[in-house]
Amino acid sequence: LNPRPVYFLSDFGLTDEFVGVVHAVIASRAPGVSVIDLSHLIQPHDIRTGALTLERAAPWLAGGVILAVVDPGVGTERRPVAVEASDTVLIGPDNGLLLPAAHILGHPDRAVELENRTDAPGDTFAGRDIFAPAAAAAAAGTPLDQLGAPVDPATLVELPLPGPARENRGLKTQVLWIDRFGNAQLNATPLDAGPVTHIELAGGRHPAAVVRSYGEIGDGYALVVDSYGRLAVSANQRNAARELGLTPGDEVWLGRDQ
């Protein structure tokens, strides 16, 4: 029986030793487990971006252990948890970070609260002292109910993620994510949008159609069906988000000329 891989996301950055030490803890407790980094450049304490990043990655992580640490409440009353969704285990703080991915992977079927105490010299690095040992145990095959005391999954913190809304100006959407290439992913799919001829945003109105590749865009902008099936405001080999001044949370209306 192969151990399960651990997929690891955090806001730890890559300059300090935090990420490496978490890897070391897992390697020493579960030799042979592979740890795959998803991102550690989530901005400090940005739970929403962490949750959306996990949600996007989730379809490719099924069957593994997801270790996610964006944890502004470390050392306080927020609960450290392990959540089972179908055959995947998600481990991290109960602050909304885990559930969007859990919903993609199935359903948060069962959950436990991890022991919130360690013998470490200080209480500020739960990633190392609480979450990594739990992830190592889960990857090595420890059943969920041996990781902590049962918790009602219905009590886990949900992160409100608004959907698109139909308005007179068109479909009101929100920017979820700006990727490295300047694509601005919206909270809408081609099915949500239907036919589109232009987008409207704080900076003005721009012609934009729904297309399947950057090469079809020409000199302006388009709504590309991105690799997650969502629409993204994009340009061809240019940074659309920078040009249009878009940032996460901004509103974009998808309109159709009469």
Binding mask 171-210 for a second copy (x = CB under 8 A): ------x-xxx-----------------------------
Q: How many residues does the chain have?
A: 258
Please give the span between the terminal C-alpha atoms of the chain, in angstroms, as a whole number.
60
Q: Which is nearer to a second copy, 113 or 214 (CB)?
A: 214
Nearest approach in angstroms of CB 85 to a second copy is: 16
Q: Does 119 bind a second copy (CB under 8 A)?
A: no
- Give the nearer residue to a second copy in terms of CB position, either 14 or 149: 14
Structure token digits, residue 196: 């589109």
Residue type, 142: T
In the complex, least distance from residue 23 CB atom to a second copy, rounded to whole angstroms:
5
Residue 229 interacts with a second copy (CB under 8 A): yes or no: yes
Pick the piece of the chain touching a second copy (CB under 8 A) from 109-117, 166-174, 196-204, 223-231. Answer: 223-231
Assess 95 for contact with a second copy (CB under 8 A).
no
Residue identified by tokens 């399947």 is 212
Task: For 210-258, give the DSSP string.
Answer: EESSGGG-TTS-EEEE-TTS-EEEE-SSS-HHHHHT--TT-EEEEE---
Tokens of 96: 């909304």
Our finding on whether 125 is near a second copy (CB under 8 A) is yes
Residues 131-170 as x/- pattern, contact with a second copy by CB under 8 A: ----------------------------------------
Q: Please tell me the distance from the alpha carbon of residue 5 to that of residue 169, in angstroms, as a whole number.
A: 46
**Contact by Cβ (8 Å): 38, 97:** no
CA distance 102 to 205: 37
Give min distance, CB of 74 to a second copy, in A: 7
Applying CB under 8 A, among 39, 116, 142, 197 the residue interacting with a second copy is: 39
Rounded to 10 deg, the angle between the 18-29 and 132-139 helix axes is: 40
User: Tokens for 41?
Assistant: 């450049």
Positions that interact with a second copy (CB under 8 A): 2, 5, 7, 9, 11-21, 23-25, 27-28, 31-32, 34, 36-42, 44-45, 53-54, 56-57, 60-61, 63-64, 72-77, 120-125, 128-129, 177, 179-181, 212-215, 224-229, 237, 239
